[in-house]
Homo-oligomer: A and B are copies of this chain.
């Protein structure tokens, strides 16, 4: 049998109220003698407060749900870590959910989180297909989205990254460097980030007064496999290009691999620029020029905003747009 507050109260000859007060440091009107007596008993009998019982009365579980597509995707651990760090600092714990970019799973997880009475949810929404929509109508805890901007009602806050300007900066840099025909290996257009990065690509060309060649834009997926395949396809079609702007680093890594295998020299023959700045970009040869995304910051800020909502502090900014940073390395 686990020791409960009642056991301690009985042994100390006080009421449970008194024990509760000392456990929660609301012991301003408890005599030092009693306090010590209780503390000793707690120690001796290894009393561990049952937080689920507390939650029943306080209506707070001090837990937050984190719903992301896949922790295995190198993009997400940093976000998760940022969330967890801030949460931990404030006494919250985080429940990890992998939605696999599947709206059904996502909805199921959110429902589950609600049943578990989490105090709030941080969500990187799955890419939605046409006609799909995420209904948060029945959720009554704050929801913050991270990285992906979705249009669903009831979202209390957003943390996003300025993808368009990040891409703009990267492509401008390439154009400045003299690249003329920049291939854009895009992510899936069901993802808003992918679209925004494409827009940055376009805008840079426009500002330079350069045309956009249709054959230099290829839509795909956010994976290394696709980067690998995409390059091969373009090469096989005989399309000419002197630089590649990839919608994320995974694509870039795949592309780089494919180019190397074809004997193409990077950056001498063709330059590559990625997006995200995931850890491994510095471990490869040549190190990848890329657009740094502040992932840890995103997670951290999201959690911060969520906790502010939960604790009913005033939240000044409900939409935080984080800046990217172009990191120039040797691949371009």
Contacts and interface: CB of A to CB of B under 8 A. Distances in A.
B61 A71 contact: no
A96 B79 CA distance: 13
A162 B50 CA distance: 39
Given A94-B96, A95-B63, A115 B74 contact: no
A243 interface: no
A80 B74 contact: no
A115 B50 contact: yes
Interface in A251-289: 253-254, 256-257, 260, 279-280, 283-285
Copies in the complex: 2
Contact of A96 (B52, B84, B117): B84
A10 interface: no
Nearest to A96: B96
B71 A84 contact: yes
9 closest Cβ pairs, A-B complex: A280-B280, A253-B283, A96-B96, A51-B115, A71-B77, A72-B77, A52-B55, A72-B81, A52-B117
A173 to B, nearest CB: 24
A279 B96 CA distance: 21
A15 interface: no
A93 B72 contact: no
Interface in A55-101: 55-56, 61, 63, 66, 70-72, 74, 76-78, 80-81, 84-85, 88, 93-98
A284 to B, nearest CB: 5
